[in-house]
Amino acid sequence: MANALTTLNEKAGAMIMAPVRLLAMAFDPPLRVWQKWTGQNGMAAFFLAPNLAVFGIFVLFPLFINFAYSMTGGAALFLEDRVYVGADQYQRLFTCASYLDPKGCAEDLFWTAVWNTGLFVVLQVALMTIVALITALVLNRDLRARSFWRAVFFFPVLLSPVVVGLIWRWILQRQGLLNYGMIEMGFEPISWLAERNWAFTAAILVSVWAHVGFYALILLAGLQAIPRDLYEAAEMDGTRPARMFWRITLPLLAPNLLVVLVLTLIRAVQIFDEVYVLTGGGPGTSTLFITQYIYEVGFASLLRNPGLASAASILMGGVLVVLTLIQLGIARRNEMRSGKG
Amino acid sequence: MSSVWQFLTRRRSGKAFDWTDAFTWFWLIGGVIMMFGPAVWLVNSSFKTPAALAEFPPSILPYVTAQAVVAGQDKPLDLYEVTDEAGNVRVLAEIRRIGIVSQMVDPAKPEEIIKVPIDKRKPKRSVSFSFDNYVKPFLAFDFFLYLRNSVFVTVMATVITLITNSMAAFALSKYNFTGRSFVMLLIIATLMVPLSVILVPLYSVISAMGLFNSLWGVILPTVATPTGVFMLRQYMLTIPDELLDAARMDKASEWQIYWRIILPLTAPALAVLAIFSVVWRWNDFLWPLIVLSRKEYYTLQVGLNVYAGELNVEWHYILAMTVVTMIPVVIVFIFLQKFITAGIAGTGLK
């Protein structure tokens, strides 16, 4: 039966592949002519061209004109219709009586979003790393059906942010499952998504729920790379388990922990979609984060100001560049270390 | 205290059950409830009628209240089981409720109105799955269109991603040319530029190309994934150059080498990238939200968000469509989970 299925599968595959193969064969003669003209190594340009074209048009070019956008004003879409205003947009973002109090700023929403994002990043990254570490340690024990348990924690990672947001909106609503459980256990029901602090807490918890499996997986890979004989040697020396954790597990896991820390940081700074679907940035502005601010100022609000959105996105980009450079630095150091070891 | 950290370290099996085992089981079982529970609750709720969804406390299974058409009443009435003083149970239909008294009739004798205190009546209900929630959005709303758009975007973007990324990876791994390290650097640099940083200018580029409100406007900016190029290049570096040289001796063109040697040998890495690309593109939200402003072009994610953002959220439809949106990803998860976890552990891809 299994054999029959495989052959069927192969036959179906062959049927789909046949026209593709024909197409590829049709490409060959003109490309041979081209190759004669450019030489063997010159064909590299041909292979690179499609990817670089897409990169150039949809990533690099926008990146460069983003700086130009941030120095123009008005609501016009195309750069040539826009008015040059110099550093006005940046000045507007940074005009503040006190940076600690968004209410005194010209762009109060921007600073609200900055502070919200800052607090979110600190709390979410800490919680994410701790939960991911505990999960990885639990999964690294001698478990039966480990791949099943691993899959359990990984499951939400694949869900779309919209699905994640809607699932939790349904559970956290006033008459939702969670409040029902709270009443059953003798607590007062809470308007999770209608009270500022609870909505912020929900945003953190939901984003941890959605992504923790991914980071646990990275940490688990790190744990499994620690040689077992280290523990056996320590055990023979009568080392206490607590000491083993602090002296063996944690130091050897440190590179992976750093990777996880920086990756969560980079993603937390850009948090948008699941929170947007969950709370819409509300109640009020309590879960308004930077990316949503950029989106609203650039596209959604009536007082559209693409220049301002550009300026804000460049500031966020600066933070991300620094974080990514740190990440690449760590990755390189890890590689060199494992290369030596 | 010596056992406090035991669960944090490897233990040989055969030791006595201690609190670390208890904690492990607590975490695993709690994990199953926390991770699967919400999704199960979603699927379960999606089969309930609007009336059942509005109930609080919520019932576990989807119930439907039985109804009966009673002569003299324009609408079908809800049926209740009423216990009278003698302890007999009768099935009555409720006409209206006034305070704590309910006016009811016996469907067999529609002239006679019976007054019943509401605590003496219980709705006559039966378990019933409401498939209407699934059928109606496809027939009455545009969800079929959204589904088609989502499938189109996902398939096209994945195919183009695989072709362009594998070609670029081939050039970067198997040729020596001036500027190779510059190109690599360029690609690394784009890792630092997530979409949210270039929203405004990218939108203007898309508009200038006439791709606003077009599915291609969603597809094209996503296909040059730097992670994809990286992963494939890493994999292709392990293919021995001698293989290519031998093919060249046999007069194979460079295109044939790419097509008939490199691609088949890179199949495992291509499969991983394909799986990731499908999940990425299926789940994309922010960029389609910006590019697609007309209903007929919405993808499932955007359509769902729009319906869920309306003033009167029709939860029975939203929940069912959320389940539909979840299905492909769940299928990928069930059948291809092994590849994904291996891919993440190996490359940190997401």
- Read off the pLDDT of residues B181-190 as tens digits, 9 standing for 90 and up: 898 888 877 7
Which of B39, B58, B168 is closest, CB to CB, to A167? Answer: B39
- pLDDT-derived band at A129, boundaries 50, 70, 90: very high
* Residues B57, A180: C-beta atoms closer than 8 Å: yes
Nearest to A160 among B6, B282, B345 (CB): B282
pLDDT score recorded for residue A341? 37
**pLDDT, tens digit (0-9, with 9 covering 90-100), for A16-31:** 677 778 888 888 888 8
Q: What is the largest CA-CA distance in chain B?
A: 101
Instruction: Say whether B273 sits in a helix, a strand or coil.
Output: helix
User: How far is Cα A56 from Cα A166, in angstroms, rounded to an integer?
Assistant: 36
Residues of B in contact with A241 (CB under 8 A): 2-6, 8-9, 11
Average pLDDT, chain A: 85
Range from A237-246, A315-324, B106-115, B219-228 carrying the lowest mean pLDDT: B106-115
Nearest of B112, B119, B93, B91 to residue B104 by alpha carbon: B93
Q: Which residues of A touch B57 (CB under 8 A)?
A: 180, 183-184
CA A293 to chain centre: 17
Work out the minimum CA distance from A137 to partner chain B, whole angstroms.
6
Q: How far apart are CA B7 and CA B18, in angstroms?
A: 9
Residues in chain A within 8 Å Cβ distance of B12:
142
The answer to whether A297 and A309 are in contact (CB under 8 A) is yes
User: Taking CB atoms and an 8 Å cutoff, what residues of chain A touch B198?
Assistant: 59, 62-63, 66, 313
pLDDT number for residue B287? 92
pLDDT of residue A301: 73
**More confident site: B282 or B117:** B282
> What are the structure tokens assigned to A329, written together?
């630095």
Q: pLDDT tier at A3 (50, 70, 90 boundaries)? A: low
- CB distance A138–B27 less than 8 Å? yes
Select from B203, B248, B333 the Cβ nearest to the Cβ of A155. B333
pLDDT mean across residues, chain B: 82
Closest-CA distance, A283 to chain B, in angstroms, reads: 14
pLDDT at A340: 44
Q: Report the C-alpha dihedral over residues A94, A95, A100, A103, rounded to 10 degrees.
A: -130
- Using an 8 Å CB-CB cutoff, list chain A residues near B192: 317, 320-321, 324-325
Q: Which helix (H) or strand (E) holds A83?
A: strand A83-84
Residue A98: phi and psi, rounded to 5, are -145, 130
Highest mean pLDDT among A281-285, B121-125, B157-161, B305-309: B157-161
Which residue among B163, B248, B301 places its CB closest to the CB of A162?
B301
Interface test with A, best of B10, B180, B249, B341 (most A CBs within 10 A): B10
pLDDT for B349 beyond 70 = no
Contact B184, B172 (CB under 8 A): yes
Indicate whether B278 pLDDT > 60.
Answer: yes
Residues of chain B in contact with residue A257, where contact means CB-CB under 8 angstroms, are none
Interface test with A, best of B24, B191, B197 (most A CBs within 10 A): B197
More confidently predicted of B132 and A122: A122
Q: Shortest CB distance from B259 goes to which of A24, A295, A316?
A: A24
CA–CA distance, A123 with A13 (Å, rounded to integer):
49
Interchain CB distance below 8 Å, B202 and A58: yes
Strands B77-83 and B67-68: antiparallel
- Chain B positions touching A17 (Cβ under 8 A) are none
Of the candidates B187, B200, B286, the residue with the CA atom closest to the CA atom of residue A64: B200
Which range, of A3-17, A310-324, B5-19, B287-301, averages the lowest pLDDT?
B5-19
The residues near A172 (Cβ < 8 Å, ≥ 6 apart) are: A178, A192, A193, A202, A278
Query: Which chain A residues contact residue B207 at CB under 8 A?
Result: 77-78
* DSSP symbol at B239: S
Q: With an 8 Å Cβ cutoff, are B254 and A220 in contact? A: no
Out of A55, A221, A270, closest to residue B345 by CB: A221
